[in-house]
């Protein structure tokens, strides 16, 4: 009988024209996830289990690697970006998403409260964290900032911080309005000012 771990994690990677983007950052998070799960066999390079097919040429592919202590599954999907034109502020002090858990029940429950908005901004203990599918960036005085209290330290966020394209800021729910624009980023959605929306499109 196949063993199944109690906790499952996953990585979402972008494959652009056959190249895995931000591979080093994914490998670091993948390593931390494997250590957290006490995996029976450690995989040092996630690229070793990803099959780059000729079919991926001239395509943007979402690759999902789901794993627990014993098993690993790799899946590939064509990717269509989600258009986000508005956010709803949702508060939840109990949420914990320090690792990229496969169980997204609470995130989905919070997202169901978005009303007529496209996405949510999750407030934990009065502080801005993430949206349901990625980290957040905020623009003020021609500088981009990301909350220093994320639920999950994303790979795109880590890259932007390391390259000093964005900076850390402590952002509480009351000073969101000091910023001019907001942008969602994740492994599949890189920094692109064309995707940023005005802060007035955030609803309380």
Q: What is the pLDDT along the chain (204 residues), one digit of tens a residue?
A: 334 446 899 999 999 999 999 999 999 999 999 999 999 889 999 999 999 988 888 899 999 999 999 899 999 999 988 899 999 999 999 999 999 999 999 999 999 999 999 999 999 999 999 999 999 999 999 999 999 999 999 999 999 999 999 999 999 999 999 999 999 999 999 999 999 999 999 999
- The CATH architecture that domain 87-203 belongs to is Alpha-Beta Barrel (3.20)
The pLDDT, as a whole number, for residue 91 is 97
Q: Could you say which DSSP state residue 148 is in?
A: S
Would you list the domain boundaries of the chain? 9-78, 87-203
CATH number attached to the domain at 9-78: 3.30.470.10
Strand order in the sheet with 119-124: 127-128, 119-124, 87-91, 202-203
* Identical fold between 9-78 and 87-203: no
Orientation angle between helical segments 155-162 and 23-37, nearest 10 degrees: 130
The pLDDT, as a whole number, for residue 19 is 93
Residues facing 87 on adjacent strands = 119, 202
Residues with Cβ within 8 Å of residue 186, at least 6 apart in sequence? 12, 133, 134, 135, 154, 156
The pLDDT, as a whole number, for residue 4 is 41
Integer Cα distance of 13 and 10 in angstroms: 10
Phi-psi region at 67: left, alpha or beta (left = phi > 0; alpha = psi -120 to 50) = beta
């Amino acid at each position: 009988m196949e063993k199944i771990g109690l906790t499952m994690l996953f990585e979402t990677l972008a494959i652009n024209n056959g190249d895995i983007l931000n591979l080093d950052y994914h490998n670091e998070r993948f390593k931390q996830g494997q250590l957290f799960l006490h995996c029976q066999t450690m995989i040092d390079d996630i690229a070793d289990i990803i099959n780059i097919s000729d079919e991926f040429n001239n395509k943007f592919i979402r690759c999902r690697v789901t794993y627990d202590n014993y098993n690993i599954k790799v899946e590939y999907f064509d990717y269509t970006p989600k258009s986000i034109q508005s956010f709803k502020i949702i508060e939840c002090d109990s949420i914990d998403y320090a690792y990229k858990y496969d169980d997204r029940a609470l995130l989905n429950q919070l997202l169901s409260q978005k009303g007529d908005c496209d996405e949510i901004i999750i407030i934990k203990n009065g502080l801005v964290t993430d949206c349901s599918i990625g980290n957040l960036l905020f623009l003020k005085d021609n500088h981009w900032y990301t909350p220093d209290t994320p639920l999950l330290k994303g790979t795109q966020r880590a890259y932007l911080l390391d390259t000093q394209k964005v900076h850390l800021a402590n952002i509480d729910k009351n000073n969101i309005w000091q910023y001019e624009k907001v942008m969602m980023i994740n492994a599949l959605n890189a920094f692109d000012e064309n995707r940023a929306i005005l802060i007035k499109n955030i609803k309380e």
